[in-house]
Amino acid sequence: MPNNFALGNGKPWSRRQLLKLGLAGAGVTGAAGLWQMLNLQSKSIVKVPPFEMSAADDATNPMKMVRDFDYGTVKQENGRTIREFQLTAGTSIINLNSAVSYNIWDLNGRIPGPTLRAKQGDRIRVLFLNKAGHSHSLHFHGVHPAEMDGVRPISNGSATIYEFDAEPYGVHLYHCHIAPVTRHIAKGLYGMFIIDPPTPRPPADEMVLVMGGYDVNDDSHNDYYAFNGLPHYYMHNPIRIYKNQLIRLYVLNIIEYDPAVTFHLHANFFDVYRNGMSMTPSEKTDVITMGVAERHILEFAFRYPGKYMFHPHQDAIAENGCMGQFEVLAQSSAQNTVKKS
């Protein structure tokens, strides 16, 4: 299903266009479907530059992941809106560079796991199947009953269902909570969980950046770091954005073994929405410190074309892979928006 962005001509979507995309059919019904369609339409004025899906490791494709949101399947049951997701834990090998490969635990064949997205008040149902060879679980940050807290081991070859209400709105995460939790997270069992507010945020080019680390020799120290799975990927494949376009970054620090990292943006400042739990920014800065599992919404726009780096300001972490660039394009050269779903 399409995610956030589509046509770049500023025209509202017609019902015919929605039907072509399947949004008016099965799987999107009732109030939640209407919210989703309105959410999409409100963002149809956002221009997203064309981008190429360059070759990447099978378990991670950072250029796809950066704008990839999983809205699940929406159903109506007994008057409730149910948003259903399916997550399967497995194993994969990723190539951290030309010489180093690493065995990970993945979710739906990727690291980080899918970015799940819902609206506050939806009933969330997660079908979890464990095929990763060890006991695992899924613990969701947010508010829910104890029996849905995801700390009970799900053995290899077994499945379970987590069901709870999506609250409160904000940027959250999910991860395995089986001991040693640090190892289970560092091996790849984590992802972002976004709960949108009842009133959609203003249109923006929305992206996800998840900072992670890799301890390849099991000495409880990270050897490599990455945004969205692969070290240095966005340095070699800059994220293209348009000048003066509002950018909304959903940023998560899930780097284990390091107590905290910063996030720094070159040649600009950003508004900070801490944990995404407010519609009003708490501060404006160009560097913010984030502990493990901390996450924020960062908003900004670039005035000038060119390439601009982003990275933690701990240089050793940046130099070992957690480094990227935005390539800002002049709006005057913009073509019609190209959407990759």
Q: Which residues are annotated as a binding site for Cu cation?
A: 136, 141, 175-176, 184
d(CA 10, CA 47): 9
| Binding-site residue set | 136, 141, 175-176, 184
Q: Please state the φ and ψ torsions of residue 192, each to the nearest 5 degrees.
A: -95, 145
d(CA 128, CA 100): 30
Q: Which residues contact 31 (CB under 8 A, 6 or more apart)?
A: 81
Q: Please state the φ and ψ torsions of residue 183, each to the nearest 5 degrees.
A: -70, -40
Q: From its phi and psi, is residue 177 left (phi > 0), alpha (psi between -120 and 50) or beta?
A: alpha
CA angle 280, 285, 286 (to 5 degrees): 135
Contact assessment for residue 192 and residue 206, using Cβ atoms and an 8 Å cutoff: no
d(CA 274, CA 264): 16
Q: Which two tokens stand for residue 154?
A: 């799900």
